[in-house]
Amino acid sequence: MILDHARACGASAAQAAVSHNVGLAVTVRRGEVETLEYERDQQMGLVAYFGQSKGAASTTDFSPEALRQTAEAACRIARHTEPDPHAGLPDPDEQARDWPDLQLDHPWDCPAGRAIDLARQVETAGFGVDPRVDNSEGASVSTRRAMSVLGDTQGFMGGYRSTRHSISCALVARGDGGMQRDYAYGTSRDPSWLPAGEAIGREAAERALRRLGARKLGTRQCPVLFVPEMARSLIGSFARAVSGGAQYRKSSFLLDAAGQEIFPDWMHIVEDPLLPGALGSAPFDGEGVRTRPRDLVTAGVLQDYILDSYAARRLGLRTTGNAGGARNVSVKPHPGEKGLQALLSDMGTGLLVTEMIGQGVNLVTGDYSRGAAGFWVENGEIAYPVEEITIAGNLRDVFRGIGAVGSDVDIRGNIRTGSILVEAMTVAGD
Amino acid sequence: MIDSLARETLLEPGGITDDGLASVLGATFGRGTDGGDCYFQFTSQEGWSLEDGLVKSASFNIERGVGIRVISGEQTGFAYSDEISLPAMLEAGRTARSIASAGQTGSIPVRPGAARDTALYLPDDPLGSLDEGRKIELLKHMDAVARAADPRVTQVICSLAGVREVVLILTADGELVTDVRPLVRMNVQVLVEQGGRRESGSSGGGGRSGYAFFTEADRAGAYAREAVRQALVNLEAVDAPAGTMKVVLGPGWPGVLLHEAIGHGLEGDFNRKGTSAFAGRIGERVAAPGISIVDDGTMPGRRGSLNVDDEGTVTQQTTLIEDGYLRGYMQDRLNARLSGTHSTGNGRRESYAHLPMPRMTNTYMLPGTTEPGEILASVDRGLYAVNFGGGQVDITSGKFVFSASEAYLIENGRVTRPVKGATLIGNGPDVLTRVSMIGNDLELDTGVGTCGKEGQGVPVGVGQPTLRIDGMTVGGTQAA
């Protein structure tokens, strides 16, 4: 209907996306319910084209009047914007016609009372670990179900449902030198894949405890081992640098890097948007283009960029089905199956990074400098916790200096990697 | 006028009368509840952007809804609806009050709540303050100024954004407060290239007004020149030093230091819960003598200002630190009540679909008496940082970072070479005890800040004079 409105306003082509989400989130703190939130969101977004000119509008109000006004707003804008030869709907041949069931929809029958009980169990298990765990920012349980539908004036129409459920806990431990907070979480499409609540509570407690007594380090160059949750952000910087926008704006330190060796020659990175039940999976992208598994990096060499149809046209390439970003970017472990402990032994003496704060990544130059906390490691053993330090380098050197990727892959996000060992970075402290 | 505008926008389309509101209040906030509110919001916003010299895309968005929050003790029940009607409100209210074993009261009459005597901004719609053609001209002007500034400019990306938020807050006891909030912003990012080296620079600003803000004194052109200047400085930058050293921070936006180092740690929720490194420290010395810091939601036209906060409390200037001593926290109603104090007008929320919490408005340090030149001259060897990207803090350990985007080495009291961006890291509770000189040049930022907390973003302001800090860790790559 909204597409009809757009046509009635004179649009030559249009694309509409509708999303609807319902959810429940509870937080329990020190055994008592702190918040109970019922979520219900909807949004309709429209992109209208007048030839090569483009306008966009969105609304959360689905009344017929609001939908008509939204279509008019998109068309009014499109009459003012300047033509762009690369603008437009994707090539219809690239669009999906049918798609597999990716098993993304697993509703959780979890009424508020049960969610509250579960959150209580999580927090109680955490408090039970050690009397020094004496405060909490709360344990949360949330469940969300979303429906998204996409349609355009060249005949594409598709939709699918997906769910996401999470359990998390943030605890505070107190020691002689002050307080430390840390957290643990689980998140998945299917509630039966979530870790046991008690395990999450205990993990949050243990993580907060092990940070007590953290000190600074002296400034030095040393090997740095990133746990999977932190390694994810390194691979995230790679994905942003090879995305279409960064390439056509020439604002990437990996500009025109396809065909270049940017990682060690044993490294492989793939994108698999069709992985059943995974958090990053989608049967088609934000323009209705087919998503497909592919190699991003083979033997250290960048194979391809991450493109939607606009970026592809700008660069004279074909869309890679990445309107909305890369999906399930997976780094292959190497060498062999090595967990964190084995990588600590490989590193010998150096820094284990378990937390980073701040932005500190310049994608134009690759210059990298972020706040960090973690552990100093000597002879493969954790010696003591450290904090108030920074780690710095240039991402081109960091990527080339990767020595190993662990098999301890973290699948709780769109980027799936194990721990990453970087041979040398600058650590600044005292 | 604002009242009737808000009623017209938010209540009349759904045929909602004061009697209807009174019955919703009665059904939702009976015995067994300790307050709460209904937050009605209608937001219209637009964004125009220019790239490759052309305004190729723009967007317009509407968001409308009502959020109902029921408080019982320390518990909050919350539900919202994007339909503003009595049945939808009754349903959301029933859901939100499921946390409380509450009885109902017949009805709670609606009456006017507190209002500010003199508004800090006009209720005009910024989106209509320029016609479409003039918005495009403004962006093209910014682009032209940037490109004309230097032949090494290879790419210019400009944006213009305007928001108008109409809000109506109805408290559990029937107080009705309204506000109409304009907010505009322009931004420019440039890329420069020289001998195969690429660098970027960016600038921008805005406030609670119409788009005329950008044509007054050619602010749009000034942002463009500033972005080019920064990018050219970066072309000459050498690797930043690594290690602990003296740091001189320039005035204005470097005040993001205060926001991260102490601002978040002084928000009422973290202190009530005892999870802030500043909890229980009112009256203690937390900064060097001479340092006074305020949070001020009452500055006319500024990005972080509000006539009333999102709980209907009139905003104020709150002293956080006075001459080095910790004086107070920033509070919303819930945390104030549980801490036995009053709201400071810092209850803010991203939208009707989010819960309010204590948030900063405009946070800045009052000026000292020293000339900035004297401060630089006093440093043998150190870092002079004048522009920053964002920052972040772990409020429990107190560790915070902020990332310099324009910085120089200080050698023998003179500013010498520019260095590459680097993250600075410090410990919130003691960084301000290391301030040894305070400049007389207080500046506020140009109106670009957005603060994120628990997934909610709100516009804020920061400011400070030039400061000398004796010992901060600079996260460069060159051993000092």
Chain B 256-295, CB below 8 Å of chain A: which residues?
273-275, 277
Percent of chain A with pLDDT strictly greater than 90: 96
Residues A143 and A267 reside in one and the same domain: no
* pLDDT, tens digit (0-9, with 9 covering 90-100), for B394-410: 999 999 999 999 999 99
Q: Are strands A220-226 and A350-357 parallel, antiparallel or unpaired?
A: parallel
Mean pLDDT for chain A? 96
Set of chain B residues whose Cβ sits within 8 Å of the Cβ of A60 = 62-65, 82
Tell me the shortest Cα–Cα distance from A249 to chain B, in angstroms.
7
Q: Is B400 in Cβ contact with A59 (below 8 Å)?
A: no
Bridge-based pairing of strands A329-331 and A415-416 is parallel
Q: Which residue in chain A is spatially nearest to B71 when comparing CA positions?
A: A35
Q: Which of A187, A163, A194, A149 has its CA nearest to residue A22? A: A163
Say how many domains are in chain A. Answer: 2
Would the pLDDT of A80 be above 70? yes
Q: CB-based burial of residue B9 (10 Å sphere; 0-12 exposed, 13-18 middle, 19+ buried)?
A: buried
Q: What is the mean pLDDT of residues A323-328?
A: 96
pLDDT value of position B439: 98
pLDDT classification of A336: cutoffs 50, 70, 90: confident
How large is the greatest C-alpha to C-alpha distance in chain B, in angstroms?
77
Closest CB to A390: pick one of B99, B200, B423.
Answer: B423
β strands within B286-394, DSSP E: 293-296, 317-322, 325-326, 347-348, 357-358, 362-365, 381-393
**Residue among A62, A178, A365 minimizing CB distance to B397:** A178
Same domain as A194, residue A227: no
Residue range B93-114, pLDDT digits in tens: 999 998 876 666 778 999 999 8
Would the CA dihedral through A200, A202, A203, A209 be positive or negative?
A: positive
Q: B136 — phi, psi (to 5°)?
A: -65, -40
Query: Of B54, B63, B393, which is closest to A60 when you measure between CB atoms?
Result: B63
> Which residues in chain B have their CB less than 8 angstroms from residue A70's CB?
60, 62
How far is CA B236 from each of CA B198, B239, B264, B411, rounded to the nearest angstrom?
A: 11, 10, 35, 17
A179/B133 touch (CB, cutoff 8 Å), yes or no: no
Tokens 């769910």 map to which residue? A163
Q: Do A251 and B56 touch (CB under 8 A)?
A: no
Q: Vertex A148, ends A147 and A153: CA angle to 5°?
A: 145
Nearest CA in chain A to B429: A178
Instruction: Show residues of chain B in contact with A426, CB under 8 Å.
Output: 242, 475-479
CB atoms within 10 A of CB B336: 22
- Token readout for B208 is 């609670």
Among A159, A192, A210, give the residue marking a domain's end. A210
Residue in chain B lying closest to A25 (CA): B78
d(CA B473, CA B417): 19
Let me know if A220 is exposed, middle or buried by CB neighbors in 10 A (0-12, 13-18, 19+).
Answer: middle
Cα-Cα end-to-end distance for chain A:
64
Amino acid at B345: G
The more confidently predicted of residues B253 and B32 is: B253
Enter the tokens of residue A132: 């020094």
How confident is the model at residue B153, as a pLDDT?
Answer: 98
How far apart are the C-alpha atoms of B43 and B162, rounded to whole Å? 10
Structure pTM? 0.95
Residues in chain A: 430
Question: Mind telling me how many Å the CA of A67 is from chain B's nearest CA?
Answer: 10
Contacts of A180 in chain B (CB under 8 A): 396-397
Looking at the structure, tell me whether residues A190 and A271 fall in a common domain.
no
d(CA A184, CA A173): 14
Q: State the pLDDT at residue B102.
A: 60
Residue A225 sits in the same domain as residue A205: no
Judging by beta carbons within 10 Å of its beta carbon (0-12, 13-18, 19+), is residue B384 exposed, middle or buried?
buried
- B133 and A80 in contact by Cβ < 8 A? yes
User: What's the rounded mean pLDDT across residues A157-170?
Assistant: 98
Alpha helices (H) in B347-392, listed in sequence order? 372-377
Same structural domain, A300 and A428: yes
Q: Are residues A201 and A287 in the same domain?
A: no
The residues facing A9 across adjacent strands are none
Write out the two tokens for A71.
């279509």
Which residues, in sequence order, are CB contacts of B104 under 8 Å at separation 6+?
Answer: B26, B27, B30
For residue A55, what are its two tokens? 């306008």
* Contact criterion met (CB < 8 Å) for A59 and B390: no
Dump pLDDT digits (tens) for B48-58: 999 999 999 89
Report the pLDDT averaged over residues B411-418: 97
What would the pLDDT profile of B129-187 be if each residue is shown by its tens digit? Answer: 999 999 999 999 999 999 999 999 999 999 999 999 999 999 999 999 999 999 999 99
Closest residue in B to A430 (Cα) is: B244
CA pseudo-torsion sign A249, A250, A254, A260: positive
Taking the CA of residue B50 and the nearest CA in chain A, the distance in Å comes to 10
With CB atoms and an 8 Å threshold, state whether A390 touches B96: no
**Whether B133 contacts chain A with CB within 8 A:** yes
Shared domain for A66 and A166, answered yes or no, is yes
pLDDT digits (tens, 9 = 90+) for A5-36: 999 999 999 999 999 999 999 999 999 999 99
If you measure CA to CA, which chain A residue comes closest to B44?
A59
Q: Which of A32, A36, A53 to mutate to test the interface with B (most CBs of B within 10 A)?
A: A36
Q: Which of A81, A249, A364 sits opposite B57 (nearest CB)?
A: A81
Q: Please give the residue that has the higher pLDDT: either B30 or A318.
A: A318
Residues A156 and A290 in one domain: no
Structure tokens at B255: 């005040």
CB atoms within 10 A of CB A185: 17
Interval A391-400: pLDDT, tens: 999 999 999 9
Show which of A187, A210, A233 is a domain's final residue.
A210
Report the SS3 class of residue A126.
helix
Split at pLDDT 50, 70, 90, the class of B199 is very high
The residue among B285, B449, B286, B252 whose CA lies nearest residue B364 is B252
Burial class (CB in 10 A: 0-12, 13-18, 19+), A326: buried
> Which residues lie closer than 8 Å to A126 by C-beta, 6 or more apart?
A133, A136, A139, A169, A171, A201, A202, A204, A205
Burial A92-113 (b: 16+ CB within 10 A, else e): eebbbeeeeebebbbebebebe
Write the residue in B57, B420, B425 that is nearest to A371 by C-beta.
B425
Cis peptide before A335 (omega within 30 of 0): yes
- Please name which of A91, A79, A8 lies closest in space to residue A49, comparing C-alpha atoms: A79
* Phi, psi angle pair for A356, to nearest 5°: -135, 145
Q: Among residues B474, B247, B263, which one has the least CA distance to residue B365?
A: B263
Q: What is the pLDDT of residues A94-131, one digit of tens each?
A: 999 999 999 999 999 999 999 999 999 999 999 999 99
Rounded to whole angstroms, how far apart are CA atoms B204 and B225? 10
Q: Do B391 and A358 count as a contact with CB atoms less than 8 A apart?
A: yes
Listed by number, the residues of chain B in 420-459 with a beta carbon closer than 8 Å to a beta carbon of chain A are: 420-423, 425-427
**A1 has a pLDDT exceeding 80:** no
Report pLDDT for B2. 86
Burial of residue B480 (CB within 10 Å: 0-12, 13-18, 19+) is middle
Q: Are A178 and B398 an interchain contact pair (Cβ–Cβ within 8 Å)? A: yes
pLDDT class for A419, splitting at 50, 70, 90? very high
Q: What is the DSSP string of A41-101?
A: EEEEEEEEEETTEEEEEEES--SHHHHHHHHHHHHHHHHHSPP-TT-SSPPGGGB-S----
Chain-chain contact of A214 with B402 (C-beta, under 8 angstroms)? no
| Cβ distance of B200 and A364 shorter than 8 Å | yes
Tell me the pLDDT tens digit for each residue of A217-227.
999 999 999 99
Q: With beta carbons under 8 A apart, name residues in chain A contacting B62.
A: 57-61, 66, 69-70
- Sign for the CA dihedral angle at B406, B409, B415, B418 comes to negative
Q: How close is the nearest chain B Cα to the Cα of A75, in Å?
A: 10
Give me the CATH number covering residue A196: 3.30.2290.10
Amino acid B101: pLDDT:
67
What pLDDT is recorded for position B217?
94
Same domain, A146 and A248: no
Mean pLDDT of chain B: 95
Within its chain, how far is the Cα of B105 from the centroid? 39
Q: Which residue in chain B is spatially nearest to A211 when comparing CA positions?
A: B397
Could you report the predicted ipTM of this complex, rounded to two decimals? 0.93
Residue B408's beta-bridge partner residues? Answer: B384, B418
What does the alpha-carbon distance between residue B292 and residue B432 come to, in Å, rounded to a whole number? Answer: 10
HSE-CB for A230 with a 13 A CA cutoff: 24
Answer with the one of A210, A237, A259 that is the final residue of a domain.
A210
Same domain, A395 and A322: yes
Q: What are the helix (H) ranges across B322-443? A: 333-338, 372-377, 428-431
Of A66, A211, A387, the CB nearest to B62: A66
Q: The domain containing residue A117 runs over which residues?
A: 2-210
User: Are A51 and A63 in the same domain?
Assistant: yes
Structure tokens at B466: 């030039």
Same domain, A112 and A229: no
Q: Which residue of A has its CA nearest to B392?
A: A358
Contact yes or no for B242 and A428 at CB 8 A: yes
DSSP A410: B
- Beta-bridge partner residues of B393: B400
pLDDT of residue A176: 87
Q: Which residues contact B123 (CB under 8 A, 6 or more apart)?
A: B1, B2, B5, B180, B182
Mutate: best of B143, B400, B425, partner A, most A CBs <10 A: B425
Residues of B in contact with A84 (CB under 8 A): 54, 56-57
**Which residue from A392, A387, A400 is spatially nearest to A425, judged by alpha carbons?**
A392
Chain A residues touching residue B265 (CB < 8 angstroms)? none
Query: Are B403 and A42 an interchain contact pair (Cβ–Cβ within 8 Å)?
Result: no
DSSP string for B392-419: EE-TTT-EEEEEEEEEEEEETTEEEEEE
Residue in B155, B396, B422 nearest the CB of A179: B396
